[in-house]
Amino acid sequence: MPDRLTVRVNGETIEVEAGTTAAVASLIARVPSRTSVMGQPRTPFCGMGVCFECRMIIDGIPHSKSCQILVRPGMDIRTDE
């Protein structure tokens, strides 16, 4: 496995370390994981899949818990922005 991988976050290509979660990739790209019903940007909170703040669309699958998913080369990570 390569040391660094290329993924897309909201269409922007970024490079991350192998073993990085999709949640951390969104933080590196400086985009919130989702927006609350009140319009506030939200970011991952618990980091263990309990709080659901990290939900994103990963490779077309909505509501994926991004803090539990390791990036793969070419992964497409989208938020609800």
Cβ atoms 29, 12 nearer than 8 A: yes
Residues 11-41 pLDDT 10s: 999 999 999 999 999 999 999 888 888 988 8
Give the number of C-alpha atoms closer than 13 A to the C-alpha of residue 56, restricted to the C-beta side.
31
Query: Percent of the chain at pLDDT above 70?
Result: 96
Euclidean distance between the first and the last CA atom of the chain, given in angstroms as a whole number = 31
Q: 59 or 43: whose pLDDT is higher?
A: 59
The answer on pLDDT for 1 being more than 80 is no
Domain spans in the chain, listed from the N-terminal domain onward:
4-76
Q: Which CATH number fits domain 4-76: 3.40.47.10, 2.30.42.10, 3.30.360.10, 3.10.20.440?
A: 3.10.20.440
Rounded-to-integer distance, Cα 10 and Cα 47, Å: 21
Q: Which helix (H) or strand (E) holds 80?
A: none
- Read off the pTM: 0.87
Token pair of 71, please?
Answer: 């990036």
